[in-house]
Chains A and B, each alone.
Chain A
Amino acid sequence: MKILVCVKRVLDPQVKARVKADESGVDLANAKMTMNPFCENALEEALRLREAGVGEEIIVASVGGGKTEETLRHGLAMGADRAIQVVTEETLEPLAIAKVLKQVAEQESVGLVLAGKQAIDDDSNQTAQMLSALLGWSQATYCSEIKIEGDKATVTREVDAGLETIEVKMPAVMSADLRLNEPRYVKLPDVMKAKRKPMDKIELDSLGLDTANRLTTLKVEEPEGRAAGVIVNSVSELVEKLRNEAKVI
């Protein structure tokens, strides 16, 4: 079974986003970028499925401009076999991304798509679900455990009430939660090897899809900050303040 892993290049999760002075967006110039953490979980799961003999070739794909290649190279260094970059300088919305990935999944005849549950930049939490809808395949989101046997998979999902287990028919689209696995560290020889792995580049325009954005961002601003608090010196002072000043207990 071929596995398609969808990945996104995002601002490093340790870096605090800074809004541009003209309120047009978040300033990413010279910012440290990485693979979205949930996408790393998705890729790690694909690698483990291959190691378990369930998966065969692993294709890592992303949609984006020039430096998206760095993120795909990281995916190759983690262990993916080859990469596909759908090239565009536009920032596409999840619906458009899902349309692109549908074509990739169909052209490559994959049996499973793995994606992160959410990108930590736009926090949309949509692409995997949309891709499942467009492909007409089973959907399993927020996975913390995946067991594939033949044409079925048993998946444990992290939901608000706890853990839900569902059985889905293959092919399927699954989105990874953080506790699905611990992504491996990339070693230097892997980085060197990744440079020689195949990287296909497809121009977005050549796909003939309607990828026009439906939303216009009017402005991006910083939220109101919280006023500075006080340091109390003892538990008794804390309790006194919560009772008499904040009046919350």
Chain B
Amino acid sequence: MANLVIVEHDNNEVAAATLHAVTAAQQIGGDIDLLVAGENCGAVAEAAAKIAGVSSVKVADDAKFGHHLAENLATLIVEVAAGYSHVLASATTFGKNVMPHASALLDKAQISEIVEVKSPDTFVRPIYAGNALATVQSSDSIKMITVRTIKFEAAAAEGGSASVEAISGGTDTGLSRWVSQAVSNNDQVDLTSAKIVVSGGRGMQSGDNFSMLHSVAEKLGAAVGASRAAVDSGFVPNELQVGQTGKVIAPDLYIAVGISGAIQHLAGMKESKVIVAINNDSEAPIFQVADYGLVADLFEAVPELDAAL
């Protein structure tokens, strides 16, 4: 068996999500090689070679991979995948975008968002917003897999000494062109890796009121998240959304403020170690998953919490 992990990166750094995909590959067993495709991404390849447990790093440094456009990157994955039994990527918007494209070119099924490796051909994956877990066995010669990061520990970023090999290949399909990326201008804690997350929902009533949550988050070293309702209402940008179709996170402490707890939201945070719910509606479903519930007006409770920290 041999695993190929597609490295997610910004041409400077390896994304933390990739370390979790490496761990999934370790559980499958066999050699682990990494594929770094990008433009001027030498630093990424060097860092990738230090990840514990990795045999070799293949680097395709070419302008056509600069922005990880799915059509181009998939043609490279198809060429490299031929020598592997398993191809893995993290189930982030990067992995979710390119892996099905490559899978179809290879005429292989994709196994999305695995949460457990049962054996090299059998995996567990959540369906129905995590309300059911399906155990599936693949008959394909190459298993194409995306990995739900919260269910696999991060591999050690240091300690390995993999060989680095420059490769060429892939096609510039000319189908898509990257134009721009708008990232919210903040230096706050990363939502997906934060130990503590303070999330707001529709009950926050406005984007301005999120400043209360930011203040609490700052004291706790926490990230700020949101429910879909808060994002749809324009209170906060889309990248803060936690849920079935947003980010799936599992911090040590998740504080849900003014969030009712729809199935779709619970899917994104119910694996958190400790859940706190603050809501004025004692019937809100969020209280069914909360370890500590406080039935209160958030506009009184949150400032009080802020003062107590």
- Main secondary structure on B side of the interface with A: mixed
Q: Are A242 and B274 neighbours in the complex by a CB distance under 8 Å?
A: yes
Interface size on B, residues (CB 8 A): 89
Taking CB atoms, residues of chain A closer than 8 Å to B227 are none
A238 touches B276 (CB 8 A): yes
Is there contact, CB below 8 Å, between A231 and B309? no
The reply on B153 being an interface residue by CB < 8 A is no
Q: Which residues of A contact B99 (CB under 8 A)?
A: 129
Contact indicator B135/A98 (Cβ below 8 Å): no
Q: How far is the CA of A168 from the CA of B192 in the complex (A)?
A: 29
The distance from the CB of B63 to the nearest CB of chain A, in whole angstroms, is: 15
A233 / chain B contacts, CB cutoff of 8 Å: 294
Tell me if A34 is interfacial: C-beta within 8 Å of chain B.
Answer: no
Tell me whether A33 is interfacial, beta carbon within 8 Å.
no
- Interchain CA distance A72-B138 in the complex, whole Å: 31
Which residues of B are found within 8 Å of A244, using beta-carbon distances? Answer: none
Q: Determine how close the nearest CB of chain B comes to the CB of A33; give it in whole angstroms.
A: 13
Whole-angstrom distance between the alpha carbons of A59 and B289 in the complex? 42
> Do the beta carbons of A230 and B291 come within 8 Å of each other?
yes
A172 to B231, CA, bound (A): 28
Q: Are B129 and A129 within 8 A (Cβ)?
A: no
Q: Is B163 an interface residue (CB 8 A)?
A: no
Q: Are A124 and B244 also in contact (CB < 8 A) when A226-B270, A238-B305 are?
A: no
Contact in complex: A132, B101 (CB < 8 Å):
yes
Which residues on B sit within 8 Å (CB–CB) of A241?
Answer: 292
Q: Which of B94-146 contact A (CB under 8 A)?
A: 94, 96-105, 107-113, 122, 126-140
Say whether B263 contacts A215, CB under 8 Å: no
Main secondary structure of the interface of A (DSSP, over half): mixed
A90 CB-CB contact with B under 8 Å: no
Residue A52 interfacial (CB < 8 Å): no
Are A216 and B136 in contact, CB atoms less than 8 angstroms apart? yes
Closest residue of chain B to A170, judged by CB?
A: B175
> Which chain B residue has the least Cβ–Cβ distance from A229?
B291
Residue among B103, B228, B276 making CB contact with A242, cutoff 8 Å: B276
Whether A154 contacts B305 in the complex (CB less than 8 A), given A26-B127, A141-B97, A221-B132, comes out as no
The tally of residues in A whose CB lies under 8 Å from a CB in B reads: 81
Nearest A-chain residue to B282, judged by Cβ: A231
A67-121 residues with Cβ-Cβ distance < 8 A to B are 93-95, 98, 117-118, 120-121
Taken together as a complex, chains A and B put the C-alpha atoms of A180 and B137 apart, in Å, by 35
B100: which of A130, A138, A142, A235 is its contact (CB, 8 Å)?
Answer: A130
CB-based contact B136/A249 at 8 Å: no
Closest to A224 in B: B133
User: Which residues in A have their C-beta under 8 angstroms from that of B113?
Assistant: 123
Question: Are B100 and A222 in contact, with the CB atoms below 8 A?
Answer: no
A98 and B109 CA atoms in complex are apart in Å by: 11
The answer, yes or no, to whether A196 is at the interface (CB within 8 Å) is no
- Report B-chain residues with C-beta under 8 Å of the C-beta of A130: 100-101, 103-104, 110
What's the Cα separation between A13 and B93 when bound, in Å?
22
A217 at interface, CB cutoff 8 A: yes
Please indicate the chain A residues that have their CB under 8 angstroms from the CB of B264 in the complex: 13, 120
Residues of A within 8 A of B135 (CB): 217-221
Q: Which of B105, B173, B178, B290 contacts A164 (CB 8 A)?
A: B178
- CB contacts (< 8 Å) of B239 on chain A: these are 158-162
A122–B127 Cα distance when bound, in Å, is 5
Interface residues of A in 119-162 (CB under 8 A from B): 120-127, 129-134, 136-142, 144, 154, 157-162
A166 CB within 8 Å of chain B: yes
Stretch from B24-32, B53-61, B69-77, B203-211 forming part of the interface with A: B69-77
Residues of B within 8 A of A19 (CB): 132
Q: Is the CB of A138 within 8 A of B175?
A: yes
- Closest chain B residue to A138, Cβ basis: B175
- For the complex formed, measure the closest distance between the CB of A50 and the CB atoms of chain B, giving whole angstroms: 24
CB of A178 closer than 8 Å to a CB of B: yes
- Which of A132, A219, A249 touches B309 (beta carbons < 8 Å)? A249
Interface 9-residue window, one of B39-47, B79-87, B245-253? B245-253
Instruction: Among A124, A134, A139, A163, point to the contact of B110 (Cβ < 8 A).
Output: A124
Interface membership of B160, Cβ < 8 A: no
B128–A163 contact, CB under 8 A? no
Chain B residues with a Cβ under 8 A of chain A: 67, 69-71, 74, 92-94, 96-105, 107-113, 122, 126-140, 173-184, 192, 196, 220, 228, 231-232, 237-239, 244-245, 247, 252-253, 263-264, 270, 273-276, 282, 287, 289-296, 301, 304-305, 308-309
* Shortest beta-carbon contacts, A-B, top 10: A129-B100, A17-B128, A130-B104, A214-B109, A133-B104, A126-B100, A229-B291, A138-B175, A248-B253, A165-B179
Show 22 residue pairs from A and B whose CB-CB distance is below 8 angstroms, ordered by the A residue. Answer: A117-B245, A120-B129, A123-B112, A123-B129, A126-B100, A133-B71, A139-B176, A158-B93, A160-B192, A164-B180, A166-B178, A169-B174, A169-B175, A178-B232, A214-B138, A216-B139, A220-B133, A221-B132, A223-B126, A231-B294, A232-B292, A238-B292
